[in-house]
Structure 1
Amino acid sequence: MNKPITEQSSHYDNLENKSTGELLRDINKEDQSVPLAVEKIIPNIEKLLEVVVEKMKKGGRLFYIGAGTSGRLGVLDASEVPPTFGVSGDWVIGLIAGGDTALRNAVENAEDNTEQAWLDLQQFHISEKDVLVGIAASGTTPYVIGGIKKAREQGIATGCITCNTNSPLGNAAEFPVECVVGPEFVTGSTRMKAGTAQKLILNMISTGAMIRMGRVKGNKMVDMQLSNKKLVNRGVKMIMEELGVSEERAGKLLQEYGSVRKVIVVYGKS
């Protein structure tokens, strides 16, 4: 049986004998191939994103499920959507095998349970209104495959992000995204190139969806949550640029309305 691409031997060997500079240059060389691999599969990402937007416009949600690095990346992406785009925390939901404990620590055998993902999803009353995306570099994670298969049986739109071709996960999902980045610098360490590819694709899906849902104006995050001084200052600058007012005036308007978008709607030309 052929090894999955993500498990094939690194193109590099005797890593322990390399200098620090050699290690860094070789890792960087490998990393440069990742965005090119993502570029090749943009049509597949587009198909999945269109489904996400279609469902969201009808009140649906986007769910991610994964284990290990893949699960952490899904939770990370989901957690950054509310503060960036000012939406509620139930628009994009990330679940990881083993629960929140697994965000910091490995949970033994959590990813091997084919039934648990669906049980986890039931807590959020997932339905055919929603979209479920399974994330697994190998495309063989039982937790993820089980969740995708069960969701598809229930008429829920399913996608996946994997870094192997013709994987069980890719075959189970309706809208597979298979990004082949080749063997890892450290053999089998999919937290590296595969994880980077997954992060890039997740960025595209969540950001694309939020833009299509009207949560960006021009190129500005006008709905961002003003949760610290840096973001307040950013909001002030947005208002200054949009309305052509002084920093003092922009600050007062932002304080009064509590939202960049609200200020622009009330005082903007469009």
Structure 2
Amino acid sequence: MQYERTTEKDSKYNNLEKMSVSELLTNINNEDKTVPLAVERALPQIEILTQQIITKLSTGGRLFYMGAGTSGRLGVVDASECPPTFGVSYDKVIGLIAGGDTAIRKAVEFSEDSTTQGWEDLKANNISNKDAVVGIAASGTTPYVIAALEKCNENNIITGCITCNAGSPLATTAQFPVEVIVGSEFVTGSSRMKAGTAQKLVLNMLSTATMIQLGHVKGNKMVDMQLSNDKLVDRGIRMIMDALPISKDEASALLKEHKNVRKAIESYGR
């Protein structure tokens, strides 16, 4: 099926090499301003996918992100930030990238073209119908992702996607597609720009809304965050002081004892 791949259309700007630095930055920024509006138009799709993810994770399932290149890296980033931010285990949200971890830093040639490796990567993580899988591909044509989602569908595993082309093979494969149509890039075809920004915004929404619904935020605070550096310990102390009528020293002592903001707060007054 033929469809319009808007992420590959010619840039609205030409002779970029003749622009001043000021002109380049201004024009890139003007294009970036359109991305949140494109995400807004996709909110109904994002909500449906988020509800599916919440359902699976609330009953013990996991969330898998799958992608290649920039899209795969964005999924890995979002997955890797869930444990320190929300205190969930490292196998609750998993990012898979075509070419394996090596591809996070260096492109692995033709890895995205495999129609079998995506499913093998999922099987290596003991994928089951308790889980949800979200394919990420700006183009909507990445074989590594599409073929994996097809196998998921065959095995009664929930599938979603984030893509930036309407009516793409990926969107028609995923049960719960999210299509954020950002149009042509400032540098023609450079989908790490607006498309990448759009994907990052949607990933922020999916994981954050899910974790809030699963109870990992109290008020507006990350009460389950991992205390992995001095900055976060200090934040945790201030969170306890905000919640309880105690001094900084008392809050620090509570946090040191319980090693978790939520547990420190809940222990007070027992």
1:6-85 aligned within 5 A: 6-85=7-86
Q: Which amino acid aligns with 1:10?
A: S
Q: Distance in 2 between matches of 1:244 and 1:147?
A: 52
Alpha-carbon deviations, 1:135-170, whole Å to 9, x = none? 000000000001111111110000000000000000
In the alignment, structure 2 segments of 5+ residues that lack a partner are none
Q: Distance in 2 between matches of 1:226 and 1:2?
A: 48
Q: 3-state SS of the aligned residue for 1:84?
A: helix
**What is the CA RMSD across the aligned residues, in angstroms?**
1.1
Give the ranges of 4+ consecutive aligned residues of structure 1 lying more than 2 Å apart after TM superposition: none
Q: Which amino acid aligns with 2:220?
A: N
Q: 3-state SS of the aligned residue for 1:11?
A: coil
Q: Distance in 2 between matches of 1:268 and 1:96?
A: 47
In the alignment, structure 1 segments of 5+ residues that lack a partner are none
Q: Distance in 2 between matches of 1:30 and 1:216?
A: 33
CA contact (8 A) 1:75 1:96 kept: yes
Q: Distance in 2 between matches of 1:58 and 1:106?
A: 36
CA contact (8 A) 1:242 1:268 kept: no
CA contact (8 A) 2:4 2:166 kept: no
Q: 3-state SS of the aligned residue for 1:161?
A: strand
Q: Does 1:208 find its partner at 2:171?
A: no
Q: In structure 2, what is the equivalent of residue 123 of structure 1?
A: 124
Q: Which amino acid aligns with 2:56?
A: K
Alpha-carbon deviations, 1:174-207, whole Å to 9, x = none? 0000000010000000000000000000000000
Q: In structure 2, what is the equivalent of residue 113 of structure 1?
A: 114
Q: Which amino acid aligns with 2:206?
A: I
CA contact (8 A) 2:67 2:73 kept: yes
Q: Distance in 2 between matches of 1:256 and 1:240?
A: 15
Q: Distance in 1 between matches of 2:173 and 2:101?
A: 26
Q: Which amino acid aligns with 1:6?
A: T
Give the fraction of aligned pairs with identical amino acids, expressed as a percent: 63
Q: Does 1:176 find its partner at 2:177?
A: yes
Q: In structure 1, what is the equivalent of residue 137 of structure 2?
A: 136
Q: Which amino acid aligns with 1:178?
A: E
CA contact (8 A) 2:98 2:118 kept: yes
Q: Does 1:217 find its partner at 2:218?
A: yes
Q: Distance in 2 between matches of 1:22 and 1:195?
A: 22
Alpha-carbon deviations, 1:41-96, whole Å to 9, x = none? 11100000000011111111000000000000000000000000001011100000
What TM-score does the superposition give when structure 1 sets the normalisation length? 0.98
Q: Distance in 2 between matches of 1:116 and 1:35?
A: 33
Q: 3-state SS of the aligned residue for 1:236?
A: helix
Q: In structure 1, what is the equivalent of residue 229 of structure 2?
A: 228
Q: Distance in 1 between matches of 2:74 and 2:226?
A: 21
Q: Distance in 2 between matches of 1:106 and 1:255?
A: 43
What TM-score does the superposition give when structure 2 sets the normalisation length? 0.98
Q: Distance in 2 between matches of 1:244 and 1:124?
A: 45
Q: In structure 2, what is the equivalent of residue 190 of structure 1?
A: 191
Q: Which amino acid aligns with 2:116?
A: E
Q: 3-state SS of the aligned residue for 2:95?
A: strand
Q: Distance in 2 between matches of 1:164 and 1:268?
A: 55
